[in-house]
Each structure stands twice: as structure tokens, then as C-alpha cells.
Structure 1
Amino acid sequence: MWGPQPEAGPPPAPEPPRESDSERMLRTLLGNLRGMAYRCINDPLYPLMYASPGALELTGYGPEEFTQRHVLWRELIHPEDVQPLWEGIQAALASRTAFTLAYRIHTRTGEERWVWERGVGIGENPDGVVILEGFITDITPFKRAEHRQAFLSSVSETLASSLDYEDTLAHVVQQAVPMLGEGCLLDMLEPDGSLRRLAVAHVDPARAELAWELSRHYPQWREDAGGAGAVVRTGRTELLENVSDEWLIQYAKDVRHLELLRKTGVTSVLTVPLHARGRTLGTLTFFHCRAGRGYDREDRLLAEDLARRAALAVDNARLYREAQLAVQLRDEFLSVASHELKTPLTPLHLKLSALSRELPRCCAGDTRSESLQRHVTVAQRQVHKMSTLINSLLDISRLARGKLKLEPENTDLGEVLGEVAAWFAPEAVRVGSELRVEGEAHVSGWWDRLRLEQVVTNLLSNAIRYGAGRPIHARVEVVGGRARLVVRDEGIGIPPEAQERIFGKFERAVSERHSGGLGLGLYITRSIVETMGGTIRVDSRPGQGSTFTVELPCFPIPEPRR
């Protein structure tokens, strides 16, 4: 016990402090977050005191590169966002609120990313907030989706702005650059199988001219093995991820062609079909001219969506043109047919008039005279009806060609109503209706008398036809310096959904079986009234009759001085 004692060794090292459960949980949480938690000095350079492991995935730089000041956060921020970011943070600190900001950064590889940052200021001193703490995460996919949706909305507006599809698609091609590459081409299929280049866009005008030169000297065809021709033929999208020189040599048709292709500098190409109603109308070709740039799945979906919208616009424009041509041919036919049909009606009308006059003299005392006179009257009525229909077709032809001319003169609307009502009185009696003319006897204005008679005729004719044998009221008056003609019947009425439609070409409020005619009367009536500077409207309820009101300026509206 009292002998020599062994030499004492160094004291044992103190155990490191144990990590609490809460600290361990926090470290695990920060290590698994898709983003970067940080603490930094409130300084325009944003020197980081702490960065979570997510910094590496977010920026390409490890946490220690930030904390050891090998790289400063300020160096990653897009130049255009530096000042707005600093001002946004300081404004939030001044109001003692958290700051939430979105801005762009460049990663270690040079890729541009959008990030979302939310943070607070802590540790104030007399000079203000000293420390910033917060979290930053990548929102690039959301921003790209937002930009793509805005792009498609803008494209849709452009496509809807005009039915001249060649002009609108040229604008769309310009909009596609640089959204879908450094360049874009639009080629449309021609009837002979060739592809006609309709539009070119490129960030470099010299290369845009090169694309035009290629289309002039080396046009593409539907039977081509690759490129736009093959896409038109198959109707399938084609993606060439890497345009190598070997590929260019294989694709080129001759030495000059190869030289031009090399000058384009294209590195990747995406060609999508313009497809509508089972037909491929052409192609849109997008391309990059920088190494390392390519097209991913989202780019392809965007390009195909754009192509679908463009194809629909082209198809609608072509259908509209075809419809316009059909209408033009119809109007030309109506014009020719109306003239040809009208030619024999005039002598027929004269012969029937002569026969009507001769019958009493030639058949005096003959029991068949009255019966023959009734037949002649029916024939005259049918000839008049036929003449009215033909005149309507002629008016439609004139309206379509803008050749409905007015010959205004001093005209009494009350007098016109009285004369037309007298013409229709026998017809009204025949169907059991009483035709009552009311209002002012004389209302004068500067109108085309024959066309005004046509307006009154059409309105009274409709009232008799649809008046169901009940009284018909026609009135002329002056209201607020304008002449007003009102024709009211107590007949079948017009459903609300048909009250605007009845003023269209070949439109009726009831079925053809119940109405007869061509459905042109009210269309012609409104055209005449509007040409005179007036208006026409209808107020009607089913089963309670209809009231048509025409208002006309009594005197011509003076033309504006030039």
C-alpha cells in the first residue's frame, strides 16, 4: 500500500454533449427539406452563417461553401432581381413583418431557377435588424407552368384576332421564339404535296434569312424520309435531340445544301404536325442553336398544344372561306335565277289582266263566267305571290353585293300606310281580320317611297298571315322628332328566343309548313330601315300577338365634314 504508486495517466476526455431529441429531429428535418434553411447577416451581399444540406440540391454549392464565404448568395441572384429583392426585405423589416419574395438565381452550372423565399429579421441593435433567418425553395416548375399558360393564352388571343390565318400564324411563330427555342418555322402543305414555308422567326435575323433561302432552293415534300415532310405524312411528332455533322451529311441533297445546313448552327429540332379533322395541314418546327439545349417532355407537350390551336385556327379560317365562297355562289345563282324567273312573269301578268277584263264581255250571260273569273283571280294572286318572292331574292342579291340603293324624296308615311292597307284590305277580309289604320294621317319625311312601301307591305303581310283572324292595328305618329310606324296583331305571337333570329336571312319563327315564304321579309325590312338610318324592334308573347315598331329620322342625317 505504501509502495511506489503507478504514475497517474491523463484525465479522461470529457464526453461530447448529448444531442437532445428535439435537436436531432430538427437536424433530420432540415436535411430532408426540398430547399435551404438559412441564417445570414442583413447585408446586401447576404453572407450566410448557416445553410442546411438542401443548399447543394438547390444551387449546386455545398453549405460549407456558403458559410466559409467561398461564394456569397448575392452572386447567385439574377442582376434584374438584386435591387427589388433587397428593397422588399428591408421594407418588411421596417414594418416588423415576415418577407415573402420570388426571384431568379443562377446555379453552379449556369441554369436559371426561380426560388421562393420566406424569412424574418432577428437580433436588432440600434442600427436595425442584424440577422435574417428563413427558407428558400425551388419554384421553377410552377413558374414555367405559369409562363407556358400565359404564352398559350397570348397565342389563343392572336389566333382569335383574325380569320386571315397566314397573318395570324406568322405572329404566332414570332411569339414562339425564344419560348420554344432560338428559331421556329411554319410550313403548310400544298395540293401538289410540296410544303410552302409561310413564316420564319429567329433570334438572329441572318439565320432567319438562311431559313428562307433553304426553303426556296431546297423545298420539302410530303414524301421526304425525314423532317417536316415525314411529319406531314405520318402525322406524328419528330424529335431530333442531337443534330450531328454526320446527320447533316446524310440529310443534305448536295454540297451547297450541306453548307447552308451547317450555317444554321442547329443543335436540336422538334417538329410537330398541324392536325385538324383527320388531316395534317402543315408543321411547326422549333430548334435550338446552342449546345446543351434540348427539348424535354414539357416542351414537347407545349409545342403540340400550340400546334393543335394553330391547326384549329387554320381549319376554321378555311371553313369560313369555303362558306363565304358558297354564299357568294348562292347569291350569284339567286341573282341570275331571279332575273330569269321574272322575265316570263311580266307577260303572264299582262295576259291574266287582259283575260280578267275580257271575261265579262265575252262570257256575258254564261253561267261559267263567275267560275272562270274566280280562277283568273286565283291565278293573279299566285303570280303576285311569285313576283313578291322573286323580288325578295333580287333584294337579297343586291344586299349581299352592297348594291341596295335608295332614292329618297319627300314622302308621306301616313299616305303610304293608307295605300298599302287598302291593297291588303281584301286579303284581311278573306282571313277574317279587321285592318284598322290609326294615328296621324300625314307624317312627312325624306325617304325612298318604294322601299317604304316594301317595309309596310312586309309588316302588314306578316300580321295578316299570323294574326289568326283577329283585328290588326296599324298606326303612324311622330315621337321625339322621329316618325314611328307600329303594326300590331293579336295572333300566335313569337317565342322570346326567336325574336332576334326572325330578322336573319331565311329565318322564321314557326315551321315552314305553317308559314310559307322564304323567310326573307323581315331581313329585307330591317336592312331597308337601317339603310334609312332607322331601327326596328318587336315585342311579342306567344298567344298574345306581336307588335313591330319602326322608327325613322324624318330628315337625312348630315354626313360629317372631312
Structure 2
Amino acid sequence: MIPKQTSAVDGGSSHSVQTALGQYMQHAPRAFAVTHGAAHSLTYANEAFCKLAGVNGHKGAGKDFGVAAAAPQAPALIAMLDRAFREGVNILDEKIPAGGVDAPSWQCSVWPVMAKGGKAEALGVEIRESAAPDPAAEMQRQLSERLLVSALRERGLAEDAEAARRRAIFLAEAGRLLAESVDQISTLVTLTKLALPGIGAWCIVDVINEHRIIGRHGIYHPDPEKQILAKSLDGCWLPHPDDPFGAAAMLRGAKTISISDKIELVLAASAGTAETLHTLRKLGIGCLLTVPLIARNKLLGAMTFINAEGCPCYAPDEVRLAEDLAERGALALDNAQVYDVTVALKQGAETANRAKTAFLGAMSHELRTPLNAIGGYIELLDMGLRGPVTKEQRADFARVRTNQQHLTLLITEILNFSRVGSGNMIFAEEDIDASAVMAYAIGLVEPLFAQKGLVFEGSKGGHGVIARADEGKVTQILVNLLSNAIKYTPRGGRVSAACSTLRDRVMLSVTNSGEGIPPGKLESIFEPFVQLKEGLADREGGVGLGLAISRDLARAMKGDLTVESGLGDGARFTLSLPCAGEQEEAR
């Protein structure tokens, strides 16, 4: 007797063991066989079994045992096989009486091989002629029994592992395809093409909209020729609220449904027309499997798989595969719907923004004309062309002129904002001396420092720093930053400027003391029509467009405008621009 050992073998050794085991089983003196299914088709029989049961060698392979076996004991053995298959129980050493005068009785053992669903799918069978007990033969019989059960178990495990591998590959590929589908239309196309592998299923995808109306968005058959037939059903085979499958059934209860009985009647009631039913029959009508598409606890639709005519009903592992596929599909469909809504909202916002910009531009042009006329007539009256002017009248004319100029400045800001927003602003980019432009901008506003009682600490560093930008636009930005610094710095406060380089950028900054900017407004102050002081009585001159225009101009020149501030620490606004060398390299 060979002692039992535990060892690990590599792939080549395992193949050798299996080959040796197969040869031993084929020539073993004990007669045994393996049958499959309720009809007991012979999938394997060794020489001893063929001889004892009257099976004609290889001609019996694949045939039902009742057809292949010629022994008179065969009918009684078939009854035993039926019982073991139906009840899923082991039958050991049960006696089958002699089937004739010269035929001996048999001792038979049957072992069912159980599928995942708890039902038998195959049987291992051993037969031998009844005789006086032989200890050596009994030991050999037990060894053969163990080897047979072990071989059947290993075969089942190997098949399960291969099925799991194929399932994982299929789901990974399905996930990749769905991840590449961004919008709803491409996602639906991908969903309909995800027919289950290996069972000849074709697929239907139904989608439920926000009004709970069902739309059939795709029918796909893996057979290219039958896909032409499936395509002809578009717009013809529509879902009905009473359908026992698809999204209609999911609205009544969102759970997996499998239909295996009266399939012809089910589809006939759903087809609507004889022509549609004829097409469905050509596609192949087998069992139906509907799984819901659910994402974020919301029913989005359903996927229905119809396998080929004559195929067995869906096994539990196929149902799980369909549910996994539906889970991935629902998530992709939900993401696509959110994406489509986002795109629609973005397009609507862009359209509204363009309309607003166009309106502001048009109104600015229309308002500037009468304002210029007002300014002109005030000049004429102040000159006395309409008669003598008193001192009091001149003071009134000055107030009118001041407000007319202020209003013209505000309208000019709005016009500049609309030009930048519409992309109609023209930029003349060239190499500019950044420190010289800063000095020029400071000169334009320098008298205002004394008027406000501020200390200007001058401009530091950066002599000969060359930037690539539009000189006029840079001047406009710097004047706006300096004006804001003067506006928001209390009397006695300090303002300074600086010019420097940081790696490949030119940095122009304006710093002032004062209250500073709250952290929550460091970004919002760059939005149009936003000022630090919201009340009408507290608002400074302007409409809150200066920083918005300045940042848009900076970014249009491949730069940026940023701010650093803290409450009570004042603020530093920095305009960054590309160095001239960077632009030369880019060209």
C-alpha cells in the first residue's frame, strides 16, 4: 500500500500525473464510467466497464447509456442512475439482479457530482459482478473510488476557476469600455453591445427618464447578420407598461427577473405586430433575464438578455454576471447623465454671458454719445457763449462736468469689460521695459498721494527687466492697482511698488497698508461688479470692474493677477508676465 503524501507539483509534473492517472483508470480492473445530464450521456468509460456493460468502445461515447449499453442489467442500472441524479444521493454497493439465465448479478455504486445550484450534473458509476468478498479487490475498489471522486472534484474546480477568470476578464473589458463613454449617447451604445459571453444572448436596453417614461435605446445581437435584424426593430418594438420584462417590470419592482416559461407568448404580447414577432423569432427566442440599472438609489432603466432558442435557462453564475454588468452600466449611465446636464448648464451660462456682454457693449456705446454731448454743452455754457455766467453758475457747471466725467469713466470700464469678455480686445505684444512702465504709471497718479495724505515709498528693484506684453494694457493694469491702493489706504498710510523676476516670470507688485481684505473675498474681488464695501453709502467710486478687467487683461497676455492680504495687514497685488526670452523660445 502506498502511503498518502502531501506535495506540490509544477505545471509539467501535474500534466504527467494526470496522464499516468488517465492510463491507470483506463486499464484498471474495476469497471467505472462517468455520465452527464439527466439522459446519462456517457462521457467516459474504461475498458472494464465497456466489456461488462456491453458498450461498443468509442462508438458509445456521447450516447445515452440506455442506447449504448447492451447488457441485460442495463435497465435496472438506468433506474438506479435516475434515482441518484434526481435525489443527489450516493448509492453504494447496491445489488442489481441477473438479467438472464447466464448473466451474473451486479454490485453497483453511484456518486453524483453536484453543481453550484445544488443539483446533480454528472454521475460517477462503478459496476462489478457479484462474487465472494476479496480483500485485495475491495481495497482496489476503494482506491479506484477515491481516485475517481478526486478526479471529478479537480475537474469541477478547474472549470470553476476558468469560468471565474473569463468572467473577470469580461467585466474588466466592460468597465474599460464604459469608462471611455462620457456622454449619454455613447454610454447607451456601449451598454447595448455588452451581451453576456458564452451563452449566445442578445441584449435590450431600456432607459427611464425623469418623467418615468420608458425609452428603448438599443437592441444588440452578437451575430453580425442578426444585428441587421435587431437594427430593423428600432422604433418598431417599443416598451409597453404591461410588459413582464424590461424597464416596465422594473418600475413595478426593481429586482432581477428570469422568465423561462411561455416565452413565445410573452414576446408575442410585447411585439405588437406580426412583422415584429417574425423578426424576434429570427433573432432567437430563449429564456429572458432582466436586471435593473440602479445608481444612487435611483432606477435608471433595465438591461434584458434573451438567450438563443434551445439554450438552458440562466445559471446562478450567469445571473450574477448580468447583475455585475448592470451595476457597472448604471454607474456609467448616471455619470453620463450628470455630464450631459453639466454641459447643457455650461452652454446656457455661456450663452447668457455672451448676451450680457453684448448688451453691456451696446449700451455703453449708446450712453457715451449723450454724455459726450452733455460735456460739450457744459463747456459752451461755461465759456459764456449763451450769456454772462455767474460765479455760482460756474461752480454748478463744474459739479455737472465732474459727474459727467465720472459717469463716462464708469461706462468706459463697462465697455472695456465687454470687449475683453467677447474676445474683441486687440493686443500688441512686444518686448517692454517693465520697470519703465511701472515708473510711467506711478507718474500718472503721483499727485494723488499728496492729495490723500499718503506716503509713497517709491518703486524698488527691477531695472532693465524685460517682459513680453502689451505696454498700454500693462499701464492700464498698473494704474488701476495704484488707484485702488490710494482709494483703500487711510490717510497717513503707505503705498509702495516693486519690480522683480521669479524664474521665467516678471513680477510687478503694488503694496498698501490699511484694513486688508477678508480671506473669503480674496478671489471674489476679481469677479465683475464686486467691491469690498457692499452698501451703497460705503461704495467707493466705480462699479467693481477694475480688478476683473485687469485680471482678464493679464491672463490674455499669458500672465496673471493675484493678491496677498490679511485683515489689518493691507494688501499686495502682483501682476506676473512672461519674460521676453520665454516668449521667444515659445515662438
TM-score of the superposed pair, with normalisation by structure 1: 0.64
Structure 1 partner of 2:234: 215
| Greater Cα offset, 388-397 or 488-497 | 488-497
Structure 2 partner of 1:351: 373
Which amino acid is the alignment partner of residue 382 of structure 1?
A: L
Q: Which secondary structure does the structure 2 equivalent of 1:476 belong to?
A: strand
Distance 2:8 2:458 in 1: 93
CA shift, 1:196, in A, is 6.1
C-alpha offsets along residues 240-291 of structure 1, whole Å, 9 cap, x if unaligned?
A: 4226223333333333322221232243334456678999765433444432
Corresponding position: 1:256 with 2:275: yes
Structure 1 partner of 2:264: 245
1:509-548 equivalences in 2 (<5 Å): 512-513=534-535, 521-548=546-573
Structure 1 partner of 2:158: 105
Q: Indicate how the Cα distance of structure 1 residues 331 and 184 shifts in structure 2: closer, same or farther if over 3 A, else same.
A: same
Distance 2:447 2:367 in 1: 23
C-alpha offsets along residues 178-230 of structure 1, whole Å, 9 cap, x if unaligned?
A: 499844333456899997665555543334343222225x2415657455463
1:430-445 equivalences in 2 (<5 Å): 433-439=454-460, 445=467
Q: Which secondary structure does the structure 2 equivalent of 1:256 belong to?
A: helix
C-alpha offsets along residues 280-339 of structure 1, whole Å, 9 cap, x if unaligned?
A: 765433444432215687567546634542342233123212212212321231232122
Distance 1:55 1:262 in 2: 37
Which of 315, 318, 341 in structure 1 is aligned with 2:337? 315
Q: How many residues align?
A: 458
CA shift, 1:175, in A, is 5.3
Gaps of 5+ in 1: 1-36, 79-102, 107-111, 116-139
Corresponding position: 1:230 with 2:239: no
Which of 411, 416, 421 in structure 2 is aligned with 1:396? 421
Distance 1:493 1:152 in 2: 55
Structure 2 partner of 1:376: 401
Which of 514, 518, 521 in structure 2 is aligned with 1:491? 514
Which amino acid is the alignment partner of residue 242 of structure 1?
A: S
Distance 2:199 2:453 in 1: 74
Q: Indicate how the Cα distance of structure 1 residues 187 and 448 shifts in structure 2: closer, same or farther if over 3 A, else same.
A: farther
Structure 1 partner of 2:72: none
Distance 2:532 2:464 in 1: 35
CA shift, 1:350, in A, is 2.0
Which of 551, 554, 557 in structure 1 is aligned with 2:577? 551
Distance 1:207 1:428 in 2: 84
Which amino acid is the alignment partner of residue 145 of structure 2?
A: Q
Structure 2 partner of 1:204: 223
Distance 1:186 1:433 in 2: 73
C-alpha offsets along residues 369-418 of structure 1, whole Å, 9 cap, x if unaligned?
A: 224413431332133123213421332232xxxx5542224544444434
Structure 2 partner of 1:122: none
Distance 1:41 1:475 in 2: 76
Structure 1 partner of 2:412: 387
C-alpha offsets along residues 469-498 of structure 1, whole Å, 9 cap, x if unaligned?
A: 532222334566753311112233345566
Identity rate, percent: 21
Distance 2:305 2:543 in 1: 53
TM-score of the superposed pair, with normalisation by structure 2: 0.61
Q: Indicate how the Cα distance of structure 1 residues 310 and 58 shifts in structure 2: closer, same or farther if over 3 A, else same.
A: closer
Alpha carbons 1:418, 1:437 under 8 Å: kept: no
Which amino acid is the alignment partner of residue 485 of structure 1?
A: L
Q: Indicate how the Cα distance of structure 1 residues 483 and 223 shifts in structure 2: closer, same or farther if over 3 A, else same.
A: same
Distance 2:526 2:219 in 1: 42
Distance 1:247 1:38 in 2: 58
Distance 2:350 2:452 in 1: 39
Structure 1 partner of 2:205: 186
Distance 1:41 1:485 in 2: 74
Structure 2 partner of 1:292: 313
Q: Indicate how the Cα distance of structure 1 residues 225 and 232 shifts in structure 2: closer, same or farther if over 3 A, else same.
A: same
C-alpha offsets along residues 430-457 of structure 1, whole Å, 9 cap, x if unaligned?
A: 6654455414576555422332233324
Corresponding position: 1:471 with 2:513: no
Gaps of 5+ in 2: 23-89, 91-110, 126-140
Distance 2:351 2:294 in 1: 29
**Bigger Rg, which one:** 2
Structure 2 partner of 1:68: 145
Which amino acid is the alignment partner of residue 557 of structure 1?
A: Q
CA shift, 1:547, in A, is 1.9
Structure 2 partner of 1:367: 392
Distance 1:504 1:183 in 2: 56
Structure 1 partner of 2:35: none
Corresponding position: 1:450 with 2:479: no
Structure 2 partner of 1:92: none
Structure 2 partner of 1:336: 358
Alpha carbons 1:194, 1:221 under 8 Å: kept: no
Distance 1:68 1:491 in 2: 95
